Amino acid sequence: MTPTTQAAKQVFAQRLDECCVPVIETERLMLRAPHRGDIKTIVRLVNDRRVAENTARIPHPYGGEDAERFIAAANRRDGEATFVIMQAGAPIGVCGVEPRDTVPEIGYWLGAPYWGRGYATEAVRAVIDHAFGALGHDALAAGARVNNPASRRVLEKCGFQWTGVGLYRIRAINSSAPLDRFRLDRGLWASLKAWGRARDVA
């Protein structure tokens, strides 16, 4: 394979990664599809036990092969939208909606240096708008570990209603832990849209 052919294949693969979801701008953030150029930054941010242990499926430690698998699997199913959260031109986390057997689920993480600035709430609201708007979902589910009040506050500020507690497997701790479960229906979302819609720019 010539270098030109190899470069062309890499460009095509990156465009394939990016073609399935729009680029969304919010007041301070841009959300776009993940691509291979994000691997090093994703690994640096998520290979932090504080981040990984607050998600269900991110392993710890987390390496380049994990990031490659994540990017290869992203945005391949109907009803799915996975975004890298960009701030000032740099990736700071990931947010998305994923189809499940019953209700699609919102998930997100931010690198620890970006906690406490409202970025998660801003990104989640944009993904909620996309999920109910372009994707046409009627309800969304989400979860937060019971020992993660910051994540719970994000969901509550986005209109999610608490529905109970369940026990879920957490890969990073190789054990199960209790998660608060939440749900947001289309009708409630419609009444809350005064938070300001994000806009698709591509």
Q: What is the pLDDT of residues 12-48, one digit of tens each?
A: 344 444 457 999 999 999 999 999 999 999 999 999 9
The reply to whether 7 falls in a domain is: no
Total domain count for the chain?
1
Residue 15 lies in a domain: no
**Is residue 82 domain-resident?**
yes
Going by C-alpha positions, the residue among 27, 119, 152, 131 that lies closest to residue 78 is: 131
Three-state SS at 100: coil
Range of the domain at 118: 22-195
Q: Is 2 among the domain residues?
A: no
Tokens of 180: 């608060």
Report residue 134 as tokens: 């372009």
Which residue type is seen at 175? S
Give pTM, 2 decimals.
0.87
Q: Answer yes or no: is 146 within a domain.
A: yes
Contact 46/56 with Cβ under 8 angstroms?
A: no
Q: Is residue 91 part of a domain?
A: yes
What's the CATH number where 121 sits?
3.40.630.30
Quote the CA–CA distance of 62 and 67 in Å, as a whole number: 8
| pLDDT of res. 196 | 63
